[in-house]
Chain A
């Protein structure tokens, strides 16, 4: 009777399907997983092989091991990052086409094209493909003549982009950015219930509100842009979703377009009125409010450079967190209130 040796997987972990399809719940190879054991079976010719034969690994049968997808992450997928380090969560908020995705793409391109970016070096990303997709339409490979950013879909639940950066002598910092459609923020402004459901904001280290300066310098549209944008902030603050220690960055995006208009002084005064209103309305409770001018991808590189204004904002994102009291000494970080493992319970 001829005998052949084949291998089958047995796993002790509840819910693991490794014994039937070879896929380990932990994402490990069966020989690396502590719950799995690989058993050599003697299979003789006259043994009736049951259906489980599909799961038997023979040396010449290829079974693959999945690695990280590389695309933008769903909330449930971020735990592999948030469980391993105190991750900065940065919510990019604002109406549609306010420049949220463009800024993310620009940050990635600034790392790609320079030996460092504002003193930080790139240490990794679980979402390289997600970044690449967002950068594509501003690259020559897209065969476009002018750079654009594809509009973020409101139905997409894969909205987290990951970047790990490192500066001298410090341990790397993980950053998770949201790339959420402007339509969602419009809904938050329209509905207190929707705002109350936006629990992710409670965990945000930074809440970056993008206001389109091109709209602010259009006399017909500017009041809508102002009211709607401040309305997003108001909804989240009044429903208690934005913590008092959260860093709020109000970002006047596409700043180059405002500066290129006639009557610049008039538009600058309008911008100042927005700043005053935000300070007057929210600074009593939320102390960490700052304002920035941004031109992530200026149309005219004569007066503005690629990534204008990104440096100051990015540095704040990396260095400041309301959940860390002593950020200078990375080895003895004191975390306030929130365990990183709690991150995954938040929804948006």
Chain B
């Protein structure tokens, strides 16, 4: 992990970083918890016979793809909580932008994700804007792509995030 400062941006764009394997396999329990949280009764996720008939067995909801990479809040060999989308936090730190929001998010879905899959991912910084001022504060927009593959190297999804890191009005640079 390292901060991405203003002088590092050009060299960081287009470079695959943070290639990692998920901390745990895709699991049915989280599928049910997520479906329950939004009251999603799609029988693909609740009825094994329907899943077998339509998708050749159970699958996870496609929009859950990033869930499988959010680190445990605590793990025994780690002293600080892990951060998903690490490039986002590297930019915040390196550019001295203490606050950030995500504004746009595109996900393209490829092969289905199934319980038991162990996914891996990598992050690519696509762009960083010049400094802009919005109602939130002054900062920069950035686009980060996250590519997801399963243990067979099948592409399962590509997610593009647009983030805005900023300082609130009156906040000092690097605060």
Q: Do A and B come from one complex?
A: no
Which A residues have a C-beta under 8 Å from some C-beta of B?
none
